Structure formats: structure tokens, C-alpha cells
């Protein structure tokens, strides 16, 4: 199962690789990273159909925001599940994300046990 993590903070890659080390090593998941919404869309367009099943995106990024990315993904690739993350757990971001089709909304710091459960649930529903 390929997961695309989109965040403008590059240290997120090391954190995700560390937290999902066991799942990566076993071949359960493959992580790919994009550091902007635009880069994420380019990655999705590079393989037709995209081999990404799940996107985990920050909301607040320069250029294309996570919410704009969510809307674009849902329009072009409706089968890809997208969850959003924000350092701000405010109601407005939550409502905007859910209304735009986000599967889940996480706040920083990320609860990786909840995220792991989400990944397992998406994998089971895609079989």
C-alpha cells in the first residue's frame, strides 16, 4: 500500500520513516513524500492510474494549501483517501477538511497509533 505524505517541513519524512519502520520493512506500506501540494499533484500524474491509495497532507503549506490539494485530488482521483493534519485543531479547518471530502483530521503532534489504525483500515477496505 503506497502512502503519500505531503508537508512542507522536510523533517516529517524522517519522523514517518521512524514511526512506520516495522510496516515499511515488512512491505505492508511504502511511503512517498512531497514537500508541496504542487509536487504531490505531479507525483500523482506521473503514473496512470496513480498507485497511491492514501494521502496524508498538512493543511498549512505555502503555494497550494492542503485544502486546495484535497479538493484537486477528490476531483481528479476520487478513489484516493485523503486525511489532513494541522498544527491548529480549530473547528474551521476541521469543517473545511471534512466538507471537502477528507477521511480524517489529525492535529499535531500526530498520534501515530491513530494514524496506524487508519492505515490498516484503509488497506483492509481496498482489498
pLDDT, one tens digit per residue, over 81-115 is 999 999 887 888 899 999 999 999 999 899 999 99
Whole-prediction pTM value? Answer: 0.94
Backbone dihedral angles phi then psi of residue 71, each to the nearest 5 degrees: -60, -40
Residue 40's pLDDT is what?
Answer: 98
List the domain boundaries for the chain: 2-126
pLDDT (tens digit per residue) in 20-76: 999 999 999 999 999 999 999 999 999 888 899 999 999 999 999 999 999 999 999
How far is the C-alpha of 44 from the C-alpha of 4, rounded, in Å? Answer: 9
Distances from the Cα of 99 to the Cαs of 41, 82, 124, in angstroms? 21, 12, 24
Map residue 87 onto helix, strand or coil: coil
Task: Identify the architecture of domain 2-126 in CATH.
Answer: 3-Layer(aba) Sandwich (3.40)
pLDDT attached to residue 49: 84
* Nearest residue to 52 (alpha-carbon basis) of 80, 27, 75: 80
Rg (CA), the chain: 13
- Between the alpha carbon of residue 103 and those of residues 57, 84, 87, 114, 119, the distances in Å are 11, 8, 18, 13, 11
Amino acid at each position: 500500500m503506497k502512502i503519500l505524505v505531503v508537508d512542507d517541513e522536510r523533517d516529517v519524512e524522517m519522523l514517518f520513516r521512524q514511526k512506520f519502520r516495522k510496516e515499511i520493512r515488512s512491505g505492508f506500506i511504502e511511503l512517498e513524500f512531497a514537500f508541496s501540494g504542487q509536487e504531490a499533484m505531479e507525483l500523482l500524474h506521473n503514473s496512470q492510474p496513480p498507485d497511491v491509495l492514501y494521502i496524508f497532507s498538512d493543511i498549512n503549506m505555502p503555494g497550494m494549501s492542503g485544502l486546495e490539494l484535497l479538493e484537486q485530488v477528490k476531483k481528479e482521483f476520487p478513489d484516493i483517501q485523503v486525511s489532513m493534519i494541522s498544527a491548529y485543531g480549530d473547528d474551521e479547518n476541521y469543517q473545511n477538511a471534512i466538507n471537502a471530502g477528507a477521511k480524517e483530521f489529525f492535529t499535531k503532534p500526530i498520534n501515530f497509533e491513530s494514524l496506524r489504525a487508519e492505515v490498516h483500515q484503509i488497506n483492509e477496505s481496498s482489498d
